[in-house]
Amino acid sequence: MRWFLACLGLGAVLTGCASTQLNYNTADLASSLGSLQKRQIFYNLAQALDDPDFVPSQVTISIGTAQTANAVNPNLSIPLGSSFASAARLTDAGRNAGNQFTGTFTTAATGLGIQLVDSWNQSWTMVPANGANQLRRLRALYQYATGSFPHVEPGRESSEDEAEKYFLCEYPLQALAVPSSPPGNNIAYRLEGCPENGSGPRSRLMYADPNFTQGPNCVICVDDLKSKLPRLYVNPHLKYRFIHSGKDKTDDMVKVGEHGFTSFYVCASRKSDCRRVPQQEPFDGRKAFSDFVLFVYEAMAVPAGGSGSGKSSGGANFVYSVR
CA–CA distances in Å: residue 176 to residues 13, 59, 75, 136, 137: 56, 22, 64, 17, 16
pLDDT over 70, % of the chain: 69
What pLDDT score was predicted for residue 308? 44
**Identity of the highest mean pLDDT range in 5-9, 203-207, 209-213:** 209-213
What pLDDT score was predicted for residue 322? 44
CA–CA distances in Å: residue 288 to residues 236, 237, 239: 10, 6, 6
- Kindly report, residue by residue over 245-270, the tens digit of the pLDDT: 988 888 889 999 999 999 999 999 88
SS3 100: strand
Contacts of 62 (CB under 8 A, 6+ apart): 125, 126, 127, 313, 317
89 vs 293, residue with greater confidence: 293
Q: How confident is the model at residue 90 (pLDDT cuts 50, 70, 90)?
A: low
Supply the Cα-derived Rg of the chain in whole angstroms. Answer: 35
Q: Is the model's pLDDT at 161 over the cut of 60?
A: yes
Q: Is the distance from CB of 186 to CB of 175 less than 8 angstroms?
A: yes
Residue from 309, 311, 307, 158 nearest 240 by CA: 158
Q: Is the model's pLDDT at 83 over the cut of 70?
A: no
Contacts of 94 (CB under 8 A, 6+ apart): none
What pLDDT score was predicted for residue 241? 93
What pLDDT score was predicted for residue 184? 83
Mean pLDDT of the chain: 79
152 vs 236, residue with greater confidence: 236
Q: Is the model's pLDDT at 124 over the cut of 80?
A: no
- Kindly report, residue by residue over 17-70, the tens digit of the pLDDT: 667 766 766 676 666 667 788 899 999 999 999 998 899 998 887 777 767 766
Averaged pLDDT, 176-182: 79
What pLDDT score was predicted for residue 321? 44
Averaged pLDDT, 217-228: 90
Q: Is the model's pLDDT at 199 over the cut of 50?
A: yes
Q: How confident is the model at residue 217 (pLDDT cuts 50, 70, 90)?
A: very high
What pLDDT score was predicted for residue 220? 96
Averaged pLDDT, 168-183: 86
Supply the pTM of this predicted model. Answer: 0.74
Q: Which of 2-11, 87-96, 189-198 comes out lowest in average pLDDT? A: 2-11
What pLDDT score was predicted for residue 45? 95
Q: ∠ CA(125), CA(129), CA(133), 5° rounding?
A: 155
Cα(225)–Cα(313) distance, rounded to whole angstroms?
Answer: 24
Backbone angles phi, psi at 274, to 5 degrees: -115, 160
Q: Which of 8-22, 217-231, 232-246 comes out lowest in average pLDDT? A: 8-22
